[in-house]
């Protein structure tokens, strides 16, 4: 299944915020993948375009 047809369903914080369980599902809400990630493996994505002269920002999760 392609990434475009999957939705991020939930993110559970584990190990005092150093690990996360991320669950992806389809439109029918059937879970297709559930993976564990470390903090360094997560990237915040933006839906809105950002101008090229913007300043990068760091977000704490």
Whether residue 15 lies inside any domain: the answer is yes
Structural domain of 21: 3-41
The confidence score (pLDDT) of residue 11 equals 84
Each of the 61 residues of the chain gets a pLDDT tens digit; together they read: 445 556 777 888 888 888 999 888 887 878 888 899 998 888 777 666 667 777 777 766 6
Whether residue 56 lies inside any domain: the answer is no
Whether residue 61 lies inside any domain: the answer is no
CB 6 within 8 A of CB 32: yes
Q: What are phi and psi of 34, to 5 degrees?
A: -135, 115
pTM beyond 0.85, yes or no: no
Residues with Cβ within 8 Å of 26's Cβ and at least 6 positions away in sequence, in order, are 1, 5, 6, 7, 32
Work out the number of other CB atoms within 10 angstroms of the CB of residue 20: 19
Torsion sign across C-alpha atoms 28, 33, 36, 37: negative
> Number of structural domains, the chain?
1
């Amino acid at each position: 299944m392609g990434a475009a047809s999957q939705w991020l369903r939930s993110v559970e914080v584990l190990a005092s915020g150093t690990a996360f369980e991320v669950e992806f599902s389809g439109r029918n809400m059937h879970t297709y993948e559930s993976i564990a990630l470390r903090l360094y493996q997560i990237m915040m994505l933006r839906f809105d375009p950002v101008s090229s002269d913007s300043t990068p920002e760091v977000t704490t999760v």
